Structure 1
Amino acid sequence: MTDQPCPCGSGKKFKACCELYLSDQAYPNAAEPLMRSRYCAYSMGNLAYLRKTWHPDTCPNLNEEDLETQWTRLEVIKSKPGLKQSVVEFKAWYTENDQEHVIHEISLFKLYKKRWVYIRPLTKWP
């Protein structure tokens, strides 16, 4: 997998992209790479990484069943960086019952204890 393109759609090899985050060699320094690495964590079933990158006040009680979705691709539409808060809009495709579906989300990220974390989806672009 490490020589393959990263599932996050960045165009980089997995080993030079999200593998650095998922293997604890580095931590994303902005919301967009964090969101991309969280997509990889979902697609690879990395529950520990998802918990680590979710704000403790909004993190649900995740379990292995939450990671059974077969994610197929990610498209980042736009991102709005900020010093303490950022927003990323994306589409993530998945397959269910041999049908392709898409989730379209605008996600809020905040700096928490000097690390970017996922907070929650927003209803509209701020």
Structure 2
Amino acid sequence: DPSAARFGPKEVVKVLRDVANGLDVLHGCNFVHLDIKPDNILVSRCARENGCYKIADLGLAVAAMGSGCDDISEGDCRYLAKEVLRGDLSDLPMADVFALGLVCYEVATSPAALPCNGE
């Protein structure tokens, strides 16, 4: 039901842009977040930032290349890409992008994007 949306289209685009910019910086430093979800996106109320959305909780963040990362079981499975759930960790930056897409879907439509069953 579109009337139940939590964010309007312009705000969804702002979330997407701000978080994508943050991921670009993180990925540019060769790190991945691995737990992008609504709870880990904060909004700044600082006047000079005009409600900028920011990535929080880097507790699961790891170096994307050569990290030896072989287990990301602590991330929220509702926002993990299917290939990651299946154990394919070959393109973790894209898993962050996938999670951001799910977040944008969720904030635009309200219901959780996917169940947490790995399907």
TM-score for the superposition, normalised by structure 1: 0.27
Answer 1 or 2: higher relative contact order, Cα 8 Å, separation at least 6. 2
Report which of the two structures shows the higher radius of gyration computed on alpha carbons.
Answer: 2
Give the structure with the higher percent strand: 1
TM-score for the superposition, normalised by structure 2: 0.28
